Amino acid sequence: MTAASSGPHVLVVASTFPAGPDDTVPRFVYDQVIALARVRPQWRFTVLAPHDGRSVTADRTEHDAFTERRFHYLRPRRWQSLAGHGIMPAIRSNPLQILAVPALLWGEYRAIRSIVRQERPDIVYAHWFTPQALCAAPVAARARIPLVFTTHASDVAVWGRFGGFGRALVSAVTRRAGRFTAVSETSMLRMKPFFDEAGWARVRERAQVIPMGVELTTGTVADDLGRASRGRRTVLFMGRLAEKKGVRFLLEAFATVQASMPDVDLVVAGDGPLRADLEARSRRLGLQDRVSFVGYRSGPAKDELYRRADVCVLPSIVTDDGDAEGLPVALLEALAYGVPTIASEASNAGEVVDSGVDAVVCPAGDAAALGRALEDMLSWPAERRAAMSTAARRTAQRFDWNHVAEQTAQFLLDPFLGGHRAPDTSAE
């Protein structure tokens, strides 16, 4: 449905949104909006995100399913690099980026206010509590339109560093929101410390765990024959090369595996601030001939990597400053392709898989344990691999974008856009 739709108008606000099909920025908000437009074709969607100095983005772009709006927040514009791949990773890679945070907050607030005044959307849907829900809450309150949000990982927990002020801020914005979702139970529980027991009970009634999804229609049958007929085997990591992804532990684990399994290679697919460091670590471990850093992959190239993989690994960790995964989309993709997968506890995979049945869950930040799990899985007979592949595909059906988008629409948006009144939260 195009922007010309006469149905309800949803304003989606996000700081991570790809500028195009080849942009390395994660696509899950983009994919969610596409899926929501598919299950609610009568609705009109507008997505607001910051400009990114790395890529060329227009102030307004019309897509088949939604309108994309971008706002500037710094000059010169090439300095606009705080959002996109994540605010916390950007600050970690360059601490001076923290100076741009007030500009981003003010720019986003003004952009939301401008769109709300001009177009009067029926609801504001913020992805990430910080900064989107923070910036949208006062605008939505003044305009008397509903606010809902999705928390992904540490976007709420960061306010725990600010004592009573942080607690009051999280409480106020959450009370203002009609409903909210979290992508995992772990992400949901990160909000609990900001409320007393009674307050949390009231808030939790308006919340639900709903993960992001995966497109099962883009290749869900693993190329088992191709895998079995090749002379070498492949371990695949797919994701952003940031600290919380834990790739350094995968490299250390693979160093032990390659000594006893000379026919196994590691492919690291993705880009990010740690790529150069990880490539250097690979060389120090003597893995330069066995590890390939292939960069960001999308579309058919990404599909081929999954189809050729014998094992997928998600070695996620919780960083020292608390940055953590919500529920990695790469996990859902690996399940959908039926690739036997090892995921760390910090990926929250244990919330969606039965370890040993549809994937294997291992300790986070433990290279030795990860190495043992890899050697074990690579030694499995074909029958056991096939059984896990079948179970993984079955599990992935729960995360098909059509199903997840319908869940999201029914819980988060329909109560406000289907003729129902928003719940009264003023007494909380």
Output the tens digit of pLDDT for each of the chain's 428 residues.
Answer: 444 556 899 999 999 899 887 788 889 999 999 999 999 999 999 999 998 877 778 899 999 999 999 999 988 777 777 776 667 667 777 777 777 889 999 999 999 999 999 999 999 999 999 999 999 999 999 999 999 999 997 889 889 999 999 999 999 999 999 999 999 999 999 999 999 999 999 999 999 999 999 988 544 444 443 444 457 999 999 999 999 999 999 999 999 999 999 999 999 999 988 999 999 999 999 999 999 999 999 889 999 999 999 999 999 999 988 888 999 999 999 999 999 999 999 999 999 999 999 999 999 999 999 999 999 999 999 999 999 999 999 999 999 999 999 999 999 999 999 743 334 443 33
Cβ neighbours for 401, distance < 8 A, ≥ 6 positions apart: 31, 32, 34, 35, 38, 213, 214, 215, 216
Q: What angle do CA 262, 365, 248 make, to 5 degrees?
A: 55
Residue with tokens 């006062």: 138
* Closest C-alpha among 163, 183, 193 to residue 174: 193
Handedness of CA 82, 88, 94, 96 (dihedral sign): positive
Consecutive H or E run containing 343: strand 341-344
Number of neighbours of residue 208 by Cβ within 10 angstroms: 16
Q: Is 396:27 a contact under the CB 8 Å cutoff? A: no
Cite the beta strand spans of 191-251 per DSSP E. 207-209, 233-238
Tokens found for residue 53: 């100095």
* Closest C-alpha among 309, 306, 127 to residue 212: 127
Q: Report phi then psi at 311, rounded to 5.
A: -145, 140
Per residue in 220-268, pLDDT (tens digit) is 444 443 444 457 999 999 999 999 999 999 999 999 999 999 999 999 9
Q: What is the largest CA-CA distance in the chain?
A: 66
Amino acid letter, 36: L
Dihedral angle of Cα 202, 13, 274, 185, to the nearest 10 degrees: 20
* Closest C-alpha among 152, 150, 198 to residue 174: 150
* Number of alpha carbons in the 13 Å side-chain half-sphere of residue 252: 11
Consecutive H or E run containing 303: helix 299-308
Q: Is 237:313 a contact under the CB 8 Å cutoff? A: yes
Q: Is 109:403 a contact under the CB 8 Å cutoff? A: no
3 state SS of 4:
coil
The rounded Cα 119 to chain-centroid distance in angstroms is 28
